[in-house]
Structure 1
Amino acid sequence: MEYILEPWPWYISGPCIAIVMFILLYFGRTFGMSSNLRTLCAIGGAGKKVDFFKFDWKAQRWNLVVVLGAIVGGFIAHNSLSNPIDINLSQQTVLDLNTLGFNNIGKSLLPPELFSWENVLSIKGLLILIIGGVLVGFGTRYAGGCTSGHAITGLSSLQLPSLVAVVGFFIGGLIMIHLIYPILF
């Protein structure tokens, strides 16, 4: 008999996130991924060139566990907890994605039209990665944090700037997918 894993329901994963947040708040820490990039740049010596990276990165070593946890957790989730069945999408979503040039919709989370090595290593793919990376880096710095930091830590601690940032992230995402994406692809 084959056992098929199901995604964790909200009433398990939601409280797990809340427990992590309570632990972080108890110890006076915040959650976010972009601060880890700053720490890694400081470890690599970027503070010698740019003042933004001049800080006591050793005090942030604990936060690198978040990066390690995301990598290990992603590996475990993909290899041990993934449900191999097709993704159930609405017919309208399938039609919309077909008009954008996607095939085999719902067969994988990472469509090969975007994430195959052939597409990523093309001139267009590399330009999108570089320009997108610069824009995300700028946006993260300008917003004072990333989506996970603002949406999870900022909103859970009722910070108005995080609410403004999260609304901005969603508006930016809508503009990207409805206006810019059709032009690029």
Structure 2
Amino acid sequence: MEYILQPWPWYISGPCIALVMFLLLYFGRTFGMSSNLRTLCTIGGAGKRAEFFNFNWRSQKWNLIVVLGAVLGGFIAHNFLSNPINIDLSQNTINDLEALGFNNAGQSLLPPELFSWDAVFSFKGFLILLMGGFLVGFGTRYAGGCTSGHGITGLSSLQLPSLIAIIGFFIGGLIMVHLIYPILF
């Protein structure tokens, strides 16, 4: 008998996220990946060069569990919980992806044209990672947090700046996918 793994249904995962957020808000904590990067840079001594990194990182060390959980969770999800079936894409989407240079569209969540070591170590791949990393770093600092921080913590505590940031993230994503990405590839 073949066992096919399925993602958790919304009525399980949604309340789990809500419970975690309730506990974080109750204990006066916030959630976000960019704050973990700030903490890691501070541990590495970045506070000697930039005032932004000069803070008491020990008060945030509990939040580093998020980084460990993301890495460990990604490993477990990829190696033990992945369901290697084809993705049901429309023929129009497959045609559009093939026009952009993606072979075998729909056969992988992570297309090798973007997520292989050959793609990463190419000159183009390196430039995209460098520029993307800079833009994400600048964007999270300018927006006062990342998508997870604004989308989960900010929206759950009804913060208007987080709603504005999330709208901006979606608009930026649409511009990237529909206007900039076709030029790059």
The TM-score by the shorter chain falls in which range? over 0.9
Distance 1:116 1:19 in 2: 36
Query: Any gaps of 5 or more consecutive residues in structure 1?
Result: none
Structure 1 match to 2:119: 119
- What is the CA distance between 1:95 and its match in structure 2? 2.1
- RMSD over aligned Cα, in angstroms? 0.9
Percent same amino acid among aligned pairs?
79
Structure 2 match to 1:54: 54
Q: TM-score, normalised by structure 1?
A: 0.97
- List 4+ stretches of structure 1 deviating above 4 A: none
Distance 1:3 1:53 in 2: 48
The answer on 1:95 being equivalent to 2:104 is: no
3-state SS in 1 of match to 2:162: helix
Q: Deviations over 1:97-148 (max 9, x none)?
A: 1221111111111101111111110111111100110010000000000000
Distance 2:133 2:40 in 1: 16
Structure 2 match to 1:157: 157
Correspondences of 1:13-92 after superposition (within 5 Å) = 13-92=13-92
One-letter identity of the residue aligned with 2:91: Q
Number of corresponding residues: 185
Q: TM-score, normalised by structure 2?
A: 0.97
Q: Deviations over 1:61-116 (max 9, x none)?
A: 00000000111111111111111111122232222212211111111111011111
3-state SS in 2 of match to 1:5: coil
Distance 2:20 2:65 in 1: 13
One-letter identity of the residue aligned with 1:136: V
3-state SS in 2 of match to 1:28: coil
- What is the CA distance between 1:180 and its match in structure 2? 0.5
Distance 1:28 1:13 in 2: 23
Query: Any gaps of 5 or more consecutive residues in structure 2?
Result: none
